[in-house]
Structure 1
Amino acid sequence: MDTKDFIEQIIANQKVYLLTSEEGFAVTFSEDFEYEDGSNLEVICFWSSENKAQEARQNQWENHKIESLDLNVFLEEWLFGMIEEVSMAGLDFNAEPKGLEISPIDLIIEIAHTIKQSNANYSPLHSKGVGNIMQVALEIKESIN
């Protein structure tokens, strides 16, 4: 699976899945991205389907339960919050844990672009629409670079 497949599936379902426990969310550490001090960035893991989340419920995540987030909450609250937290988004990780890692700002832009291009159904939570989300995300990305 690639980022495009993940995005198309969450738009179709209007949901994103995550694993939670009393200790928090299913997280791992990036193999590719580091903080300035050289330690690996935290990766918060999300799944495009309940089945994929279930398959990942092994090893360190075996005591986690599956929960879902509405797409608009994920896009407008979680991902923007992850930018502030300086975390990566992990997409469809398996139990190893291995999967795709992407910055939340890039994921916001890709999701918004896909929604806009496909005229997909999207009900904004806080914004004026997906175009506004993309504009804000691009401004943030430009200020980061």
Structure 2
Amino acid sequence: MIQDHITVKNRYKDFIKKISETETVYALKDESGYATSYSSEIEYEDGEPAKIVCFWSDAARAKSCVEQEWNHYEVSPVGLTEFIENWCLGMNNDGFIVGTNFDSNLIGYEAEPLEVILDSIEELRNTGKSLELRKFENMDDLENQIKEILKD
């Protein structure tokens, strides 16, 4: 079990590294919306499992999950800026969790959306990259605002 947890955590680190490098994430989409699942680790206050929206760091990994209940979904790329500013911030407001690099057994790392943003900012900085943000002055502004939210 610990080995599985380490593998999933490493997949998350790879997810952050790859999306920061390519500035693209991938989701599965059909006519009614995006692929979602329910958390096996995080619950809402009422005891119900938290809802997850799933994202992958590459199209092939996403495509490998187009089976069973997701067999009619198609891989849909999302730019990193849109993912951070619209998806992650929106999911945080809605109480959703980010599922990253799920495998065909729907096992993957479940992360708080603000955690994903902060980890992405850190990785971008480590590689000397910066994102052109639309809703924030720059990455420092975004990071500072998230840290203020997390303090409360």
TM-score tier by shorter-chain length is over 0.9
Q: Give the TM-score taking structure 2 as reference length.
A: 0.89
- Structure 2 residue corresponding to 1:138, chosen from 128, 133, 147: 147
Mapped contact 2:11–2:101 kept (Cα < 8 A): no
Where does residue 77 of structure 1 map in the other structure? 86
Instruction: Give the secondary structure class of the aligned counterpart of 2:64.
Output: helix
Counterpart amino acid of residue 34 in structure 1: E
Residue 60 of structure 1: CA displacement?
1.1
Q: 1:63 aligns with which of 72, 76, 81?
A: 72
**Alpha carbons 1:116, 1:131 under 8 Å: kept:** no
CA contact (8 A) 1:59 1:95 kept: no
Alpha-carbon offset, residue 116 of structure 1: 2.0
Structure 1 segments (4+ residues) deviating >2 Å: none
- Partner AA of 1:134 in structure 2: E
Q: Is the 8 A contact 1:15 1:70 kept in 2?
A: yes
CA distance in 2, matches of 1:102, 1:110: 10
Counterpart Cα distance in 2 of 1:129 and 1:121: 8
SS where residue 25 of structure 2 aligns? strand
Deviations 1:82-141 (A, max 9, x none): 111000000011222111100001111111122123212422222111111111111111
- TM-score, normalised to structure 1, is 0.93
Answer yes or no: is the 8 Å Cα contact 1:19–1:25 preserved in 2. Answer: yes
Query: What aligned pairs does 1:51-130 form with structure 2 within 5 A after superposition?
Result: 51-130=60-139
Distance 2:48 2:135 in 1: 34
- Tell me whether 123-132 or 67-76 shows the greater mean CA deviation: 123-132
Q: Distance in 2 between matches of 1:112 and 1:133?
A: 9
The alignment's C-alpha RMSD in Å is 1.1
Moved more, 123-132 or 33-42: 123-132
Instruction: Count the aligned residue pairs.
Output: 143
Distance in 2, matches of 1:99 and 1:76, equals: 22
Q: Please tell me the residue identity of whatever aligns with 1:92.
A: N
Is the 8 Å Cα contact of residues 38 and 52 (structure 2) preserved in structure 1? yes
Percentage of identical aligned residues? 26
